[in-house]
Amino acid sequence: TVHVQPKPMDVLVHLAAHAGQTVSRDELMEAVWPDVYVTEHALNRCVSQLRKLFGDDPRDPQVIETIPKAGYRLIAPVEWLPGDSAAAPLDALDLRVSSSSVPMAGPMREERPVLAALVLAVVIGIATMAAVALSANPGSRASATRPLTVVPGTEGQAAWSPEGTRVVYVHGGEEGAEGLYVRALGVDTPRRLTDGPSDNSPTWLPDGETIAFIRCGSTQCDVFAVSASGGAVWRLADGPARGLSVSPDGRLLAFAASDSTTPLLGVMLLDRESGARQRLTTPPSGFVDGWPRFSPDGAWVAFTRRSRAGADLYRVPVPGGPPQKLTDDHRPMAGHTWAADGRSLLFSSARTGVYALWRLPASGGVPERVVGPAVRDPGSPVVAPGGERLAVEDWVFEINLWESAEDGAEPVRRASSVLWDKQPHLSADGQRLAFVSNRSGFTEVWTAARDGSNLRRLTGFDGASVEHPRFSPDGQYIVFQVRTEVQADLYLIEANGVPLRRLTTDEADDVAPRWSRDGRFVYFGSNRSGSWQIWRKPVEGGPAVRITTAGGYTAEEAPDGTLLLTRYAEPGLWRMAEGAVQQLSAWPALGDWGTWAVTEQGVLIVERNEEGVQVLAIDPVAGTATPRAHAVSNLVDNEPSLTATADGAAVITARVDRVEADLLLVEPFE
């Protein structure tokens, strides 16, 4: 069975209607996305999916041929079928493989049933090619995904036993049921091992009977152990420790910790026999190294180096030495694991806007998206020792937009779905909202009236990471950021959804745009000079000009024309006037670098503490902070999550309303 998704299917429909003819890119985009302005990235992705689905090599095409500087041409054999044979819908077809195909004959017809029959025949012919390709690899089998856990709360951080038939995991979020559990495949009821609400990072020792884990107390986290059959726990090593891994021979423990040499969290090795400790990594200021994972041969440790803005994957040799950077995305990551043969790494990343599983060679290279398990937001993948099973977290994050008034009244929900509605921005007149949502399957720019009505999708990048939409001061345009697998750039679109224009084309990353007060310029963060600085670009054209030299990531003008900015991997708000930069406030926190709004009441930011989230108004000159009464909670961090009316009387925030996670089993996994 070959399953073709809607947009790639629409591309194939249009190519089939012009079989043997060159179809321009513009024509394809207009036909497939008639109501949404998209770039060629969306079309390229659909063609790439079709080629991957049917094993078509673009260097020696048998299905879709690229015509340089022109478009695409369908060159696969086409068979005409009777008009009444097209009973299957065109949005997603399950097509049985045919053993023959006949060259096209007869004139083209415009009727939809006949076109459906034509496309059905085309895909049958292509599926035949795919079947031939698959027959050359008889070991290939379709994967099945089924739940490992289905209870309320969050289940995650799974680890396979040495023989690959048992899984230990952490259960949290359900009061009274927290702790470590172990489940054997084929057994429906898991066994509870511990009842510590802070127990985490379980990993098996080589004997297959002992599980090491981290337990956090009031002052620090230490390493403990428990039998896989249950019983009393015992201390293995003193901390501090975060994120635990055990070497294949069981002698070394790897975890993240600080020590007397530096407060920075780096990867530590602890020799269980001698008690000796060795620091493997030391991150730069503003970063944390964590989640170490030993390679199957014990020669390497893979780990993440993260700031509050994102993370990258590294590896370091176990004897010690300089770490090797494996990814260069600095995007949110949600776990990684080694392949059973140690030749590649599997990781979860939002590198293209939504979380997905990616694979890359252990020595580095270009990550490839893993086509396979149907997981909404995958996290903490872990491959069983035999390599044929994968356990992965299946997360549900429901993020909605809520409006809060300065009188402290209960918030009112403005935009909601069962997925993500986030990164809101109000137009200057306070009547319209621009925000990012993945309700179409990918992160895109959407607009709505302030009350959430008149919802409309403006973009259709279909896979790139679309972020940070901002209305121009006159409300006519929206600037936003698009991150592909190569770089991040800025785009401009009219607020009514017509022509899209790329604003920056530099090979570096250009991020977090905000408008000048007169609407003539866009300020943004860029690393094009080798470090993150604030740049300014004329909207009507012309080169970008660097504004800062001492660092900057996002910036906006204050009412008096001075520049307010936050810096990369550094908390606080700065003020730049006549070339001089001074720190205005210790807020916002590191993870709230984009969660601030310039209003008539001052710069509204948030302070997070044990009691919740407090809105503060920062004086843009004196830097004094005044608490505000807006009722806000559970704000998304590491991205812009607050916008405000011009007078500061109301704020709209992106709030996490539901978080759940279950464990899924993918078998066989290849």
Written as six digits, the tokens of 64 are: 């879709």
- The answer to whether residue 351 is domain-embedded is no
pLDDT of residue 210: 98
Determine the pLDDT at residue 421: 96
> Any idea which of 44-53, 353-362, 458-467 has the lowest mean pLDDT?
44-53
Looking up residue 93, the CATH number of its domain turns out to be 1.10.10.10
Which of the four pLDDT bands, split at 50, 70 and 90, describes residue 449? very high
Q: What is the per-residue pLDDT for 136?
A: 43
Q: Is 666 within 8 Å of 143 (Cβ atoms)?
A: yes
pLDDT in tens, 211-252: 999 999 888 899 999 999 999 999 999 888 899 999 999 999
Global pTM reads 0.69
Residue 664 in any domain: the answer is no
The torsion region of residue 45 among left (phi > 0), alpha (psi -120 to 50) and beta comes to: alpha
> Residue 574 falls within a domain, yes or no?
yes
pLDDT in tens, 617-655: 999 999 999 999 999 999 999 899 999 999 999 999 999
Q: Tell me what pLDDT residue 9 has.
A: 83
Number of domains in the chain: 2
Residue 461 CA to residue 465 CA, distance in Å, equals 8
Residue type, 454: N
Is 606 part of a structural domain of the chain?
Answer: yes
Using DSSP bridges, classify how beta strands 390-405 and 377-383 pair: parallel, antiparallel or unpaired. antiparallel
Residue 448 pLDDT more than 70? yes
- Write the secondary structure of 332-384 as one string of H (helix), E (strand) and C (coil): CEEEEEECCCCCEEEEEECCCCCCEEEEEECCCCCCEECCCCCCCEEEEEEEC
Taking Cα atoms as reference points, which of 637, 628, 562, 564 lies closest to residue 595? 637
Beta strands 2-4 and 93-95: pairing type? antiparallel
Mean pLDDT of 330-347: 94
Could you report the per-residue pLDDT of 581-609, keeping only the tens digit for each? 999 999 999 889 999 999 999 999 999 98
- Per the model's pLDDT, the better-predicted residue between 173 and 139 turns out to be 173
Arithmetic mean of pLDDT, 190-217: 95
- Distance, in Å, from the CA atom of 539 to the CA atom of 594, rounded to the nearest integer, reads 22
Summarize pLDDT for 479-517 with one digit per residue, the tens: 999 987 678 899 999 999 878 899 999 989 999 999 999
Over the stretch 19-71, which tens digit does the pLDDT of each residue have?
Answer: 888 898 888 887 887 766 566 667 877 887 788 777 787 878 888 988 887 88
Return the CATH number at 427: 2.120.10.30
pLDDT(109) > 70: no
135, 170, 192: which is the final residue of a domain? 135
- Answer whether residue 265 is part of any domain: no
The first and second tokens of residue 498, run together, are: 């017509």
Q: Is residue 327 part of a domain?
A: no
Last residue of a domain, one of 88, 115, 135: 135
Q: How far apart are CA 636 and CA 633, in angstroms?
A: 9
In a domain, 83, yes or no: yes
Q: Residues near 507 by Cβ (< 8 Å), separated by ≥ 6?
A: 487, 528
- At 184, give phi and psi (nearest 5°): -90, 140
Give a yes or no: residue 207 inside a domain.
no
Q: For residue 80, what pLDDT band results from cuts at 50, 70 and 90?
A: low
Q: Among 78, 101, 135, which residue terminates a domain?
A: 135
Among the listed ranges 299-303, 318-322, 352-356, 564-568, which one has the minimum average pLDDT value?
352-356
Strand partners, 214: 200, 223
Which structural domain, as residue segments, surrounds residue 118? Answer: 2-135
Whether pLDDT at 140 is above 70 = no
Joined tokens for residue 362:
């252990």
